[in-house]
Structure formats: structure tokens, C-alpha cells
Structure 1
Amino acid sequence: MASEAEISDRDAQEMIRRISAVGILGNVLLSGYKLAAGIIGHSGAMVSDAIHSLSDVFATLIAVVGVKMSQKKADKEHPYGHERMECLASMMLGNILGGTGVIIGYSALRIIVTGEYRTMQIPGRVALTAALLSIVLKEAMFWYTRHYAKKLKSDAFMADAWHHRSDALSSVGSLIGIGGARMGFFVLEPVASVGIAFCIMKVAYDILRDAVSKVLDTACPEETEREVRRLILETDGVCGLDKIRTRMFGNRIYIDAEIAVEGTLSLYDAHEIAENVHNLVEQRFPEIKHIMIHVNPV
């Protein structure tokens, strides 16, 4: 299916500003509130949750820088553009997310192994309230960021959205742990943190795998290739499609195609058919940055 028309540069910049403001301001306020709630409420899980929220601030900053750099026009040193900067930003986000998961998991396992949970104080109600508020706000931030990431076709902002979701999951773990500790099951707090750490690392793995695949010139989705094939074969003058190769370049697509036309046509007529194919494909599929057409005689 053909994708939606591209948004204007002005609209894109406005969307980036909105995502940045919501991500940075929301996480700064939320991490400060959770840190205070964790300290006052004697909850180690909530303090770890606050650190996770603070990491989201850096994640959003990296995503913004990556998206802005990827939108730079092609130049002499980078004739194919800068779209892969988004892949690099996604890799950095994946590493931050993975590192956060490792730290949370290690800290929780240490508490379980050493038996420190037996000496923990009963978490206060303020920590429980902070966990509930964090779940609601971070889930809302996930859907908000995801909405604009899809409009911008931005892998970096999509990774940032999943970072918000991982924070919401972390807060679910905090809620379970704090609730269990308040009922006397102190070990539930670090156990829940271990489970959430694994969830966070799974999201980090998915983000890194997607970013690496796009750096390695992975073929575009099969559905997109089928639609391109159909459009080329339906173009007037095209007798066949001998070969087509696609590769992802960041969030954009490059295509090399060999079409077959009548061998008796003049060079001018054959070129005109190739030009029509080129223009139709790039107009119908905005995510395709360029298609190179080679003409073979039937």
C-alpha cells in the first residue's frame, strides 16, 4: 500500500518541538517527584524508577539531535544524505535502555542474594501513589510520542516512545513491589524489579536489532516491494521487470530496477518510459528516496 504524503518541513519541526517539550519537561518533573517520593517513602524501587525516568531525558535529547541531523540535505561529503543518523541515535537509545535494565536488574538481584530486603522499611503511601501516577503519565507519553513518531516516520522517536513504555512497565514493577512490601512481603519489591529489568532489556534488544538492520542495507518490507513491482509493471510501455533490488537507508528506501521494453524503440522513447517509471514510483511512495532504472530490450 502506498504511504501517506510527506509532511512539510515546517510541520515536522513543530512536531519535533512538541515531542521534545513533552518528553523533557515531563520526565524532569516526574523523575524529581518519584525521587522525592522514594526517599520520603523509604522505597528503593521508587528511587530506581526515578533514575530510569531521568534517563528518558537524555534519551529524548539524543532522539531530537538524531532526527534533526538526519533531516540535513545531502552535501558534497554525504551525497546520499544523512538519514542514517537516526539509526545511530536509535543505537544510542537502545544502549541507554539496555544499560538501565542491567543496572536495575543487578541492584535488585544483589538485594535478593544478600538478603537486604529483610531489613527494608515499610514503604510509605506516597511511594505507592507515585508509582500509580508514573504508570498513567508514562503510558500517555508513550502513545503521544508514538503517534508523532509514525507521522514523522522516525525510528529514533519510536525508540524514545518505547523508552517511555519501558518506564511505565518499570513503575508497574514498583507498584507490585511497594504494594507487596506494605503487606509484609518485602522480597516482592526486588523480585518485581528483576522482572521489569528483563522487559526493559528486551525492548532495548528490539530497538538495536532494527537499527542495525537498517545500517546493513537490509531490503525494504516485502509488502512495499510488491506494491512497487505492481506499479512498475502497470506503467505504459513496460513489458517486464527483470530485476529489482531494495535497501533501507535509515528510514528511507533506495531501489535499483531493470525494466524490459520493446527492443525496436528509439533511445528517446525508451528513456521516456524509464522516466515515467521513476517519477511514478517516487511520487506514489514518499519513503522511497530514489529509484534507479536500467532499461533492457525485450
Structure 2
Amino acid sequence: MTYVKKVVTITFQNYLKEIFVTREQIYKEKKKIAIFSIIVNLTLSLIKIIGGKLSGSAALTADGIHSLSDLAASFSVLTGIVIANKKAKDFPMGLYKVENLVALISAFAIFFAGYEIAKDVFFGEPMKIHNLPIALIAIVLTVIITYFYSRWEKKKAIELNSPSLLADAEHVKSDFFTALVVLVGVIGQYMGYPIIEKIAVAIVVYFIFHSGWEILVDAIKVLLDASVDKDTLEEVRQILEKEDMIEKINDIKGRNAGSYKFIYLDIDVKTDSIKEAHAYVHKLEDKIKEAIPEVEKVITHYE
């Protein structure tokens, strides 16, 4: 067999759902949901912080600061969605990493917020709950909003094949469980057991630092061009192994950029024809992006 060498760059095109006609409509729908998510997280933060201050609950106030980390994440999602839709001549591989840069800055803001909460609760003057009904109303509103909104956003994220919106839905869902911890702390404080609220605050602060750490690590990995997750690479490998036209898989690599993935393939194909090989890798692209819709480009080197 005579081998021919060629590098082909395959640009990702979104698989369109029946309810969305064009890529522009999908972009507008994602942007609308991201903006709505910002409004929801801002509302949750205000409800908790105001409720915490009026009721005297340190745990509720801390949870309000925790919601600000979700607000920062929602801003990051919106930034990524907007930038991913733009093209720049000087950036042929896209501006997707700006999303990760925003996330990196947000992580440090989250760490600072967690530090301030811990300092005030454990080393400042103890707070005493003087208005239990306000605290309970704030918590009940939080539970209702987070439960129903997270379910709705997850459904829309699946419809739109949006991993960033899916992650945002999970962030909102975490507020549901955190609110239950805060509820225990508030009741414990009101009944004269302040240590229970301190424990609740400690748990919330842990969630704050955990959220910040995850955002920080993910952002640094992407900015340093770390490989995509093993599950994605394995999924690509399974697709390739089922292809009769592929004689040998030499290498599979990938990197993240914002909400998108770039895949790099090195394969041997069973043909002497450049035209046939070129047509085949385009068909291969269809299979990869159908299985992994967040892939932006597949760069294939074949022999």
C-alpha cells in the first residue's frame, strides 16, 4: 500500500434540535438561559444575605455568600457562551479560553469570601437569632427556587447539548442541599445551641472553598492545555475501533478551551486515494460530534 499524508481540520457544527432551526437560535437560547441563571443566583444571594442580616443568622448569611460563588460561575458561563459565538482573525483557534480566565479570577474572589465568613463567625462577635420567621422564610424560598430551577435548567442543558449550562444546573442544585444544613443550624442557634450553627457555618465554608478550588483547578488545567478527560478520549477511541476503514490508531489527544473540546487524531486508513480518505474523515467527524457534541474541532493526521 502506498501511504499518503495530509492534515485535515474539521470545524465543529452543532447538531440542531427540531425546536431550533439555526445555530444562531441555539446561541440565543443558551444566552437567555445563562442570563436567567444570573438573575436566579443573584436573587438567591439577596434573599439569604438580607434574611441572614435581618434574622441574625450567621449560617444563612454565609450561605448567601456561597450563592455568590454560583453567581460568579453563571457569569463565567455567559461569558463563554458569548465569546464562543464570536470569531477573531488574530485568534484562529477561537477565544474560548477567556471563559477560563474569568473563572480563574472568580475562584480567588470565592476564596476571599470564604475567608471573610470564617473570620467573622469564628473570631468575631457571636450573632444571635432574633427573628426566626424571617430566617425560615428565606430558607423555604431557597429550597423552592433551587429545586425547580435546577431541574428546568438541566432539562434545557440536555436539549441544547450544553455542558456549561449542565454544570451550572448542578451548582444551583447544591444550594438545595446546603439550605437544609443551614436550616439545622438556624434552629439549633434559636434553641440556644450556638455550636450547631457554627458547625453549619463550617460546612458551608467548606462548600465555598470546595467550589472555588474546583473552579481554580479546572481553569488552570485548561489554560495550561491539559488533556481532556479520560472518558472523552476513551469514547473517541471506541468510535474509531468500530471503523473498518481505520487500519491503525496511532494516537488520540485532546484539549479543552472554554466549554469546547479540540480532538487530535493520528490514524492509518485503508485506502490509497486522497479523495476517498478526505471524504472518509468527514464522515468520521459526523460520528464523533454526534457522540460528543461539545467538540469544536477535530484535527486529523492520516496516512
TM-score, L = length of structure 1: 0.77
Q: CA RMSD in A?
A: 3.1
What is the alpha-carbon distance in structure 1 between the residues aligned to residue 175 and residue 25 of structure 2?
31
| 1:278–1:292 contact (8 Å) kept in structure 2 | no
Cα 1:244–1:58 shift into 2, 3 Å: closer
Cα displacement (A) at 1:56: 4.4
Q: Secondary structure at the match of 1:199?
A: helix
Q: Structure 2 vs 1, CA of residues 165 and 293 (structure 1 numbering), >3 Å: closer, same or farther? A: closer
Tell me the equivalent position of 2:3.
Answer: none
CA, structure 1 residues 72+40, in 2 after alignment: closer, same or farther (shift >3 Å)?
same
CA distance in 2, matches of 1:247, 1:53: 30
2:297 alignment counterpart: 290
Match of 2:267 among 254, 258, 262: 258
For the residues of structure 2 that align with 1:139 and 1:234, how far apart are their CA atoms? 41
How far, CA to CA, are the matches of 2:177 and 2:113 in structure 1? 13
Residue of 266, 280, 284 corresponding to 2:283: 280
* Cα contact 1:259–1:293 (8 A) shared by 2: no
Count matched residues: 280
**Where does residue 201 of structure 1 map in the other structure?**
209
Deviations 1:14-34 (A, max 9, x none): 23213312x233344444443
The alpha-carbon deviation at position 255 of structure 1 amounts to: 0.9
Q: Distance in 2 between matches of 1:174 and 1:295?
A: 57
8 Å CA contact 1:93–1:159 kept in 2: the answer is no
Secondary structure of the 1:285 match is helix
Conserved 8 A contact 2:264-2:299: yes
Residue deviations 1:164-189 (CA, integer Å, cap 9, x gap): 34544443333122100121112322
Match of 1:128 among 116, 133, 136: 136
2:102 is aligned to 89
Matched, 1:5 2:8: no
Structure 1 residue runs of 5 or longer lacking an equivalent are none
Matched-pair contact (CA < 8 Å) for 1:166–1:199? no
Quick one: structure 1 residues 36 and 206, their matched pair in 2 at CA, closer, same or farther if it must change by over 3 Å? closer
Partner-residue secondary structure (3-state), 1:77: coil
Percent identity, aligned pairs only, is 24
Say if 1:66 and 1:88, in contact at 8 Å, map to a contact too. Answer: no
> CA separation of 1:17/1:274 partners in 2, compared to 1, >3 Å: closer, same or farther?
same
Structure 1 residue 232: deviation in Å? 4.0
Matches within 5 A, 1:1-298: 5=15, 8-21=23-36, 23-53=37-67, 56-73=70-87, 75-111=88-124, 116-117=125-126, 120-152=128-160, 154=162, 156-232=164-240, 234-235=242-243, 237-250=245-258, 251-261=260-270, 265=272, 269=273, 271-286=274-289, 287-296=294-303
Structure 2 length as normaliser, TM-score?
Answer: 0.76
Q: Structure 2: any 5+ residue segments left out of the alignment?
A: 1-13, 18-22
Deviates more, 1:52-61 or 1:176-185: 52-61
Per the TM alignment, residue 193 of structure 1 is displaced from its structure 2 partner at its CA by 0.6
State the secondary structure of the residue aligned to 1:187: helix
Contact 2:262 2:295 in 1 (8 A): yes
How far off its partner does 1:289 sit? 3.0
Instruction: Look up the match of 2:6.
Output: none
Distance change in 2, residues 1:214/1:33 (3 Å) = closer
Q: Compute the displacement of 1:137 (Å).
A: 1.7
* SS at 1:200 equivalent: helix
1:131, distance to aligned residue in structure 2 (A): 1.6
1:138, distance to aligned residue in structure 2 (A) = 2.4
Give the structure, 1 or 2, with the largest relative contact order (CA under 8 Å, sep 6 or more). 2
**Which residue identity lines up with residue 108 of structure 1 in the other structure?**
V
* Higher radius of gyration, 1 or 2: 1
State which drifts further: 286-295 or 150-159: 150-159
CA distance in 2, matches of 1:202, 1:150: 25
| Structure 1 residue 68 displacement after superposition | 0.6
Structure 1 residues 155 and 106 mapped into 2: Cα distance closer, same or farther (>3 Å)?
A: farther
Task: Give the secondary-structure state (helix, strand or coil) at the position aligned to 1:220.
Answer: coil
* In structure 1, C-alpha distance between the alignment counterparts of 2:180 and 2:229, rounded to whole Å: 34
Residue 148 to residue 93, structure 1, CA distance change in 2 (3 Å): farther
**Aligned-partner SS, 1:252:** strand
